[in-house]
Amino acid sequence: MARDEAASVNRKAEIVSAAIEVFAEIGYFRATTAQVAERASISQPYIFRFFATKEALLLTALEVSWARIVQSFRQVVQSAAPERLEHALIEAYEQILASHRHETLLQMQAQTIQEEAIREAMRSGFREVRQIVLGAFCEAGIPNPEERTLLFLARGMLCNISAALELPELMEG
């Protein structure tokens, strides 16, 4: 990759990171590309060099956040012993929550946005995560894999709420 291309890829990633933070902190609808540009220390027109619209930026931000979960879960599935699989997936998700809180908050907000492209991005992310978990549970011989997958995903959603509200007692027990 040429130096200019590498710089461009890095700059795009910086814009997406800034967007994740801004959207998570003040909400997608209230956030502006000017605020994202300020956070990324660039000019607002520079954002549009990479993203045609604010929605395109949000879709890329969601893609990044889902890719992080998918990559993490795939690594766990490849390395965890079957008897430790579910616990290892929970630990991996808790690590994501701790280190990428803004991405979690962004996904939570995106669940309520009614634009079809955003809804499809969220459906796609959930489907992929569900398939990874269900496939791993089936392969590991975990009894009732469909139900266990549903409970695993539900627990993840409760973890999100607990983290967003800073209410750890939701996860005690």
Which tens digit of pLDDT belongs to each residue from 52-77?
Answer: 999 999 999 999 999 999 999 999 99
**pLDDT for residue 173:** 58
> CA 79: distance to chain centroid?
22
pTM: 0.92
What is the C-alpha to C-alpha distance for residues 39 and 18, in angstroms, rounded to an integer? 6
Q: Identify the CA nearest to 68 among candidates 106, 38, 36, 39.
A: 106
Range of the domain at 25: 3-171
Between 3 and 127, the higher pLDDT residue: 127
Give the C-alpha separation, 13 to 7, whole Å: 10
Tell me the CATH number at 135.
Answer: 1.10.357.10
Question: pLDDT at residue 8 above 80?
Answer: no
Report the number of distinct structural domains present in the chain: 1
Predicted confidence band of residue 2 (pLDDT cuts 50, 70, 90)? low
